[in-house]
Chains A and B, each alone.
Chain A
Amino acid sequence: MAETHMYKITALSEALSPLTHNSGSEGNETLINREPIVTDRGLQYVPVLSGNAIRHRFIRATGAEDLIARYNLSGKLTLDQLHFLFNGGSLTRGSATENIARITTFWRLFPLGRVLGGCLPDLIVPGSLLSWRGTMICRENSSRLRRMLPEGWMPEGRLLSCHELASRYQYTRMDAARSRGDLLADQQEVGDSGQMIYSGEAVPAGTMFVHGWVLRHAMPRDLGALLLALANWQAAGGTIGGMSSRGHGRLLTMIAIDPDVDQAETIEAYTSHADGVQDEAIAWLGKELGQPSTAKSKKGIKKEEADGATS
């Protein structure tokens, strides 16, 4: 059996645009995600990036996109395969089983699956990744950060408070009937204005978060799968949270890996492995999660029949 290691990746993410990683809303106002933490001044509510969002946006979604492009699976996936690749799948059969052989086959064919784990219809497959939450670099978190980071990393001095690191945004959803009502065939159709102002809290650009991952009992190719997903995420704009379509949520991320590795080499180890097992991996997806049906669905056939009857 190949030798495995534990890799600890510490990341620093700087917001390049306002972050709106939200946890809810009050009316038209969105509220950013905060967590209560105990400080020397009592309980404080500090903005945080959830480990769930980091895990999904940084790794699983971009890793799945890469596999689909690599194996030319676009337009060829079943719904179960799609859910499995992008969301980890779900246990849908009544009785779950334990099957070490199936698990190790999955791990071998999908290093990203070994990293993240997943859920086949009748089998839960564990992953080896521990994802940290994004800890905001602010005064309230400074003592925690000192304990999280290697000795000597945290600078001396007083950090800005998270309450100073807060901003807002406001947008207007325009009403086309008001601005270009002259284009309507029937001017009388224009009713009450549909214009709406919506606003909320945001974490301002320039704010930074410390986060990271611990990859346990992993092979270099597993680390490579993780690093490739991170590189693809960054290359695609590196966003987290909502409203990325309006320029929010862009991050610039740097990482320190312990033990130090050559990122390009581990990524190469992963890509060459993934390319080498391509046929086997595609066959495994079909076997475990169903083959795409080539027959037309009943609904599609009925629609075609109906179309034929009316033509």
Chain B
Amino acid sequence: MTTTPEPLATLTCEEFRRRLAGLVVDDDITTLDADVLAEQRNMAMQIGLLLARHYNRDMLDRMKIWQRLESALRVGVSQAQGDAAAMLSTMLEHVKAEASRVSGDPHFQALLTRLCKLSNHQLEGLRRYIGQTIYAVIVFTRQAWEQETSRRNGPTLLDDLDAGKGGDE
């Protein structure tokens, strides 16, 4: 004799919509995916540049800056989910940034403000973008860094990025 299990639960329109709530994006992103990707790349590059600026060259090997940046990005996106400030702090800690320099850096303040304004969904998108394209982010960052170091005497690339000019892409 076999026992009869409970039938499957009944699905209604209301239940269906309630269950889908978590899959509906709760922000007002209306831009095309290409624009979202360009924005994510820009922010990832700014994070990379920030890390390059604050890479502690006294404590760490100057020759291993890009290797260290790669692990900083990886650790940052994997350990600090859902919190932009925690993500940046983890990354800066990984390159042994000096707190006194970071606190006085207007680019860091601008970037932190920008990232903290992101919705959870946008931040998750950025985190995923960096995690999935880490080598590309390093390449973009290195290009931008070399561009910045060649413009030492004038406004830096970070100034341009802060002003929304977007660099030389």
Interface residue ranges, A against B (CB under 8 Å): 10-12, 14, 41, 66, 69-70, 137-138, 149-150, 152-161, 164-165, 206-208, 227-228, 230-232, 234-235, 253-256, 263-264, 267-268, 271
Contacts and interface: CB of A to CB of B under 8 A. Distances in A.
12 contacts: A137-B20, A150-B13, A157-B26, A159-B24, A160-B23, A160-B25, A164-B128, A228-B4, A256-B10, A256-B11, A256-B12, A268-B4
B13 A153 contact: yes
B30 to A, nearest CB: 8
Interface of A is mostly: mixed
Contacts of A41: 33
A263 B13 contact: no
Interface string B1-27: 010111111111101110111111110
B167 interface: no
A11 B12 CA distance: 10
A234 B8 contact: yes
B11 A157 contact: no
A66 B21 CA distance: 36
B130 to A, nearest CB: 14
A255 B13 contact: no
Given A256-B12, A267-B7, A268-B4, 10 more contacts: A11-B11, A149-B16, A159-B20, A207-B23, A208-B19, A208-B23, A256-B11, A263-B7, A263-B8, A264-B7
A157 B8 contact: no
Nearest to A262: B7
Given A70-B2, A263-B7, A267-B7, A158 B13 contact: no
Contacts of A152: 13
A271 B7 CA distance: 13
Interface residues of B, number: 28
Nearest to B7: A263
B21 to A, nearest CB: 7
A150 B11 CA distance: 12
Contacts of B7: 227, 230-231, 263-264, 267
A227 B8 contact: yes
A254 B23 contact: no
A235 B23 contact: no
B93 interface: no
A235 B5 contact: yes
Contacts of B25: 157-160
Contacts of A253: 8-9
Given A234-B8, A235-B5, A255-B8, A157 B24 contact: yes
Contacts of A231: 4-8
A273 B71 CA distance: 65
Contacts of B22: 206
B11 A66 contact: no
B9 A254 contact: yes
Nearest to B128: A164
B99 interface: no
A227 B8 CA distance: 8
Contacts of A267: 4, 7
The 8 closest A-B pairs by CB, nearest first: A263-B7, A235-B5, A254-B11, A157-B24, A256-B11, A231-B5, A254-B9, A158-B25
Interface string B23-63: 11110010001000000000000000000000000000000
A71 B20 CA distance: 41
A263 B5 CA distance: 11
A155 B8 contact: no
Contact of A153 (B5, B6, B16, B128): B16
Contact of A164 (B10, B15, B19, B125): B125
B37 to A, nearest CB: 11
Contact of A155 (B4, B15, B17, B121): B17
Contacts of A228: 4
Nearest to B20: A155
Given A235-B5, A263-B8, A159 B15 contact: no
A256 B16 CA distance: 10
B1 to A, nearest CB: 8
